[in-house]
Amino acid sequence: MAHADPAFTQAEYDRRMTKTRAAMAKAGLDALFVEDPSNMAWLTGYGGWSFYVHQGVLVLHDADPIWWGRGQDANGARRTVWMTNDRIRGYADEFVQSTVCHPMQDLAALIADCGLATGRIGVELDNYYYSAKAHLTLQAELPNAELIDANALVNWQRAVKSGEEIALMRKAARISEHIIDGVLERVEPGLRKNELVAQIYSDAIHGADGNWGDYAAIVPLLPSGPDAAAPHLTWDGAPFKSGECTFFELSGCYRRYHTPFCRSVFLGQPPDHLLRAEAALVEGLEAGLNAARAGNQARDIALALAAPLERAGIERGARCGYPVGLSYPPDWGERTISLRPEDETVLEPGMTFHFMPGLWMDDWGFEITESILITETGSAECFCDRPRKLFVKP
């Protein structure tokens, strides 16, 4: 039974398959196995919380791709992928978390059935979901095949978004704004962090403008005071305190598409060093947005950001952004381009980034970020529309 409300047209999926097959041909691959759930969804439409077991999509040159996964998840594939049911292959539950057999044995048999036992098969070697044991088992079961590192091959095909994808990111942006508006309204001294996070999740899932909210690939991050020096701490039950800055790293999500959006709040009167950092960061953001133009390089954004910060005596060694769009846990980035001085990737219209120049110092930190779209002409478009500043609440 096909999905009653598909996210994309068949023409969109055809476009994706054409791009991926061209990249496979350039790499000399006879087939490609992708286990990244984001790439699975991008290629086929598959969606489900089943990525804790081995699953994937086998991409072929001369036939529709094959969804492969746990047998009980095959019905989920039938409900979400664009392919016909004969392109769905489920393996027996005896392979799941077994110490005597492995799902890759079943995948190897499928690959052999496709006449590819001696082929050049691309695999995602540096992906979260493709384990060392999976690779070793596949090698052992296909001794005459050549397993080629095709990590991020599909990710790179996702770099330039279609109009259909951008439309979903705009809907996610409205949810991001709704979440941040709720944070700014509610946060105050004495409010426990977990209570605010409960409201963040409520706003995120209720959605905005009639569009429901999906779960984000990263949980809300909101460290305060000295803890804000660490970029990836989650919440606890402690109350917010006067005299502390908290950054809120959040994203609305609609049909797996993310538009991350971060703002910071100081409860009380901010110290001078934080106000100086705010001024430098906002200046750098504006310069970076101006440099984010088609034909420029990813490094131009990073260099534009860095100049005002350096003048203010602020050094930050981290990259300042990455591509975003379709994603599953544990990350909403696409793991290709990085906005940093070394990356010479040419910016193209339709590329989307989280321009993310967070400041994480020894005992304080704050974030002001924008998700941006590279346009045909002119500087980048910001998906969200809220003041670019440190918010202060007495």
Domains of the chain by residue range: 10-157, 163-393
The CATH label, of 3.30.70.1250, 3.40.350.10, 1.20.140.10, 1.10.10.10, for the domain at 10-157 is 3.40.350.10
Mean pLDDT, the chain, rounded, equals 97
pLDDT of residue 194: 98
Name the residue with higher pLDDT: 51 or 1: 51
| Contact call for residues 245 and 264 (beta carbons, < 8 A) | yes
Residue 255 identity (one-letter amino acid): R
Is the pLDDT at 267 greater than 80? The verdict is: yes
Q: How far apart are CA 387 and CA 61, in angstroms?
A: 48
Beta bridge partners of 148: 122
**What is the value of pTM for the model shown?**
0.96
Is the pLDDT at 142 greater than 80? The verdict is: yes
Which tokens go with 3? 């999905």
Beta bridge partners of 370: 355
pLDDT of residue 357: 95
Contacts of 239 (CB under 8 A, 6+ apart): 189, 190, 191, 192, 193
pLDDT of residue 318: 84
State the DSSP H helix or E strand holding residue 393, giving kind and residue range, or none if neither.
Answer: strand 390-393
343 SS3 class:
coil
In tens, the pLDDT along 224-258 reads: 999 999 999 999 999 999 999 999 999 999 999 99
Percent of the chain scored above 90 by pLDDT? 97
Is the pLDDT at 4 greater than 80? The verdict is: no
Asked if the 163-393 domain carries CATH number 3.90.230.10, the reply is yes
pLDDT of residue 3: 66
Q: Phi and psi (nearest 5°) for 192?
A: -75, 145
Place 136 in a pLDDT band, splitting at 50, 70 and 90: very high
In tens, the pLDDT along 185-217 reads: 999 999 999 999 999 999 999 999 999 999 999
pLDDT of residue 1: 57
Place 70 in a pLDDT band, splitting at 50, 70 and 90: very high
pLDDT of residue 301: 98
